[in-house]
């Protein structure tokens, strides 16, 4: 968080592939080059065990390590909700897990989606094609596509994506208000459970 405060509003790309996804060394380098080549400052949460055992930082090209020292910050963990809510963060490169997707929407932060498995492909497609709040990499891991996607959400299309994300953020907040759809449906579920428990002691 102390690193984020050094940056101007909406200039940092936050990178995290979640708590379960694993990437190969080749995928790591493609993402790394793509993010670095975008030219935007980046905060990357790279948890232990998220890269296959073949990874050896001594074999990473010097150019990418030097550029990372200039514009990047790599950590093993970060408080994701606080990071996404930070004024400096303008985009999120994510694996498209449901929690990460919802947390990003709630803060109105556009996404670059690189799904790993399960529901993540569906979430990624919705982000790009239905909700229009980011870029879907469509299961590819290519440095040039990643660079372009990061630039898109941070530069020419940033305002468009942010407006759409803010619209969905408002829908999400409305849904958990006292009369919102999520609150109402949760209340109905609780009523059903209580009704069933009273008839089956």
Q: Tokens standing for 75?
A: 């950590």
* Count of helix runs (H) and strand runs (E) in the chain: 8, 6
Listed by start position, the domains of the chain span: 4-199
What does each of the 201 residues of the chain score in pLDDT, given as a tens digit?
A: 999 999 999 999 999 988 777 888 899 999 999 999 999 999 999 988 778 877 778 888 899 999 999 999 999 999 999 999 999 999 999 999 999 999 999 999 999 999 988 889 999 999 999 999 999 998 889 999 999 999 999 998 888 998 998 898 898 888 888 888 888 899 899 999 988 887 665
CB distance 128 to 94 below 8 Å: no
Are the C-beta atoms of residues 7 and 40 closer than 8 Å to each other? no
* CATH class assigned to 4-199: alpha beta
H-assigned helices in 59-142: 62-71, 80-85, 98-106, 120-125
How far apart are the C-alpha atoms of 84 and 191, rounded to whole Å? 35
């Amino acid at each position: 968080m102390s690193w984020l405060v050094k940056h101007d509003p909406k200039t940092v790309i936050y990178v995290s592939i979640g708590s379960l996804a694993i990437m190969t060394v080749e995928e790591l380098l493609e993402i790394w080059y793509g993010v670095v080549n975008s030219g935007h400052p980046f905060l990357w949460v790279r948890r232990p065990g998220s890269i296959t055992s073949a990874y050896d930082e001594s074999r990473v090209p010097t150019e990418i390590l030097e550029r990372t020292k200039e514009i990047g910050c790599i950590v093993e963990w970060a408080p994701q909700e606080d990071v996404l809510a930070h004024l400096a963060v303008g985009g999120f490169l994510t694996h498209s897990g449901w929690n990460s997707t919802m947390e990003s929407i709630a803060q109105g932060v556009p996404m670059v989606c690189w799904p790993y498995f399960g529901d993540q492909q569906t979430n990624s497609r919705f982000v790009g094609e239905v909700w229009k709040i980011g870029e879907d990499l469509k299961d590819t891991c290519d440095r040039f596509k990643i660079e372009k996607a990061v630039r898109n959400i941070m530069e020419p299309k940033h305002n468009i994506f942010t407006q759409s994300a803010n619209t969905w953020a408002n829908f999400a907040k409305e849904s958990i208000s006292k009369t919102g759809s999520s609150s109402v449906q949760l209340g109905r579920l609780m009523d059903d459970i209580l009704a069933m428990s009273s008839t089956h002691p």
